[in-house]
Chain A
Amino acid sequence: MVIENVKLAFNAMRGNKMRTALSLLGIVIGVASVVAILTIGDSASQSIKDAIAIGGLDMVTIYPSPGQRNTGIFNEEFSSMLRRDVEGIDVVLPQNSSGGRIRVGQEATDASVVGVLSDYGDALNLEYAEGSFFEAMDNINRRQVAVLGSDVAKELFPDQEATGRYISLFRNQAKNYLVVGVLKSKDPTFNLSYDNSVFIPYNTYGQRFIRTANVGAFVVKVTDGFDTISVSDRITEYLDDIVGTDGYMLFSPATLAEMADQITGTFSTFLALIAAISLVVGGIGIMNIMLVSVAERTREIGVRKAIGASPSVIRGQFLIEALTLTLLGGFLGIVLGSLLSFAVTNLMDWSLHLSYASFILALGFSMFVGVFFGWYPAVKASKLDPIEALNHE
């Protein structure tokens, strides 16, 4: 019976192609906008997350506030304290840095000078074009050794090996640093452009460039298998207790990605809701065409009743017709919305993430609209008096 009714629905649509197309327009546009908004939202959010993820989704960086650097707890003992008190931390890497001018004879370039411990290279899985990272002894003895980022090395030693040669840091010409390694080119993170940095031992940095024992930043690497967001939440809780919310700044790409996800999610849900309103308008179009259809087919309804169609059968026939219409509209809308999403993501250079959830949502909503707005015309048809309907011209 359902199949016959669907066939009848298509018959009716074929008979009035233009009218059908016009009345479907509302549903098609509504569904297309819902699908496009959710899909484009998903794709945008995914590409934002991808961009943030370059910063290392297993990293959290703590920046002590300027005042805290001199008086607070952010000294070298902080690393072991944090590891002891907060679960899920693999290593805590203290890091001081400042911008500086690097020279080799007449060649000069600007770079970040970064003071770190010798385990920094292993903790971040750095790879070397030449040599290696410096040793623990280099730090203990405050030796003047340096590891160059790949751009710095290219700039200063365009045609030759850098290891074994000397560079001058900052304005102090006399301080010569021995190059012990050169990094392979590596994607920058939010706080460090590796290619454009020079790494020197932490203690050497402290002796040469700052007077106090306080630390500029701590890079926290989360233990494998722990969730970065919950670890960063625990660190936040821990630090809020000790130094207060103003005492530090915490930066966590994973948390940021989650926030971006939430914001785009909320935003696209909001837009999709607005688009859903146009589905309701589309539903009124469906109701309209169904009422016209019932009026035009009054005689047919009379005939069907005369040969034994019960009210529920007639109601079912027109409900299925309304459902067929809205599902067709929903299907066309999904196709249109996907094409639109494809065009937009292509234009924005985002990767397309077709939102299948939005397909199901859109189809479900169209079905709901079909039943809701098809109900009244269908009930009207089912209640027609057989003889009046038969005598209708």
Chain B
Amino acid sequence: MSDHVIALRNVSRYYVMGEFIVKALDGVSVSIARGEFTSIMGPSGSGKSTMMNLIGCLDTPTDGQILIDGEDTSGMSEAELAFIRNQKVGFVFQQFNLLGKLTALENVVTPLLYAGYKPRERRRMAIDALERVGLADRMHHRPNELSGGQKQRVAIARALVNNPSILLADEPTGALDSRTGNQIMELFDEINSEGRTVILVTHDRELGLKAKRQIHLRDGKIEV
């Protein structure tokens, strides 16, 4: 079991919309091994982001269990979930979601702030992470002074800086041109080859097939 870094057991996520119930995720069970590179594919509205958010502990399931590193997250408090988001997962979004008033360095430092590192350590770790994505020379720039690809690299540095075992990326190339997108994909490959579990959400077949394993979603269920 312990080689499964992520395990979903019969997980559902329903939204009540007036008289209707939207089953964004409907009884999904899946395990992901440590170090795997998995892509989640499927048409728009099939539940990809919902699944991603649940794995990343940004959301809690209506039903079922989610285990991260063998630890059951059901019944965890907000603070405990925040701790998992901080320590065990790194999130990369389509819209980058950088903090606009902070510099690249300050953005990358923020998760370390929440982790309780001392200022000197924070700075060193953040610079290392920015070097890792090739952006050390831009660390004092604000997001609006960076290109889309550069912003996504900063976001990846931020996701990796706390050395999480899982990297979650929800349509990370969706807002980038294909050349830049390919460079970001190469970066994910490298990150995966370092032993980190990477989960990539995409509706781009070609990109999705680059991962070693594909999970296909349709109407909130896994397609076999």
Using CB atoms and an 8 Å cutoff, list the residues of chain A in contact with chain B: 1, 4, 8, 11-12, 15, 299-300, 302-313, 386-387, 390
Contacts and interface: CB of A to CB of B under 8 A. Distances in A.
A304 B78 CA distance: 13
B53 interface: yes
B87 interface: yes
Most buried by A among B58, B59, B93, B115: B58
B113 to A, nearest CB: 6
A306 B96 CA distance: 12
A311 B113 contact: no
Contacts of A305: 58, 82, 85
B86 A307 contact: yes
A91 B164 CA distance: 89
Given A310-B78, A311-B78, A390 B97 contact: yes
A117 B201 CA distance: 110
A308 B85 CA distance: 5
A300 B158 CA distance: 15
A121 B93 CA distance: 95
A307 B111 contact: yes
Binding site secondary structure of chain B: helix
Contacts of A1: 113
B99 interface: yes
B110 interface: yes
Contact of A310 (B58, B59, B114): B114
B79 A311 contact: yes
A4 B58 contact: no
A307 B101 contact: no
Most buried by B among A11, A308, A309, A390: A308
A308 B161 CA distance: 12
A365 B56 CA distance: 43
Contact of A309 (B100, B114, B159): B114
26 contacts: A4-B113, A11-B101, A12-B101, A300-B99, A302-B97, A303-B97, A304-B110, A305-B58, A305-B82, A306-B85, A307-B85, A307-B86, A307-B91, A307-B110, A308-B82, A308-B111, A308-B114, A308-B115, A308-B162, A310-B78, A310-B79, A310-B114, A311-B78, A312-B79, A386-B59, A387-B58
Contact of B82 (A15, A299, A309): A309
A385 to B, nearest CB: 8
A303 B111 contact: no
Contacts of A313: 82, 114
B58 A306 contact: yes
Interface string B46-79: 0000000100101100000000000000000011
A311 to B, nearest CB: 5
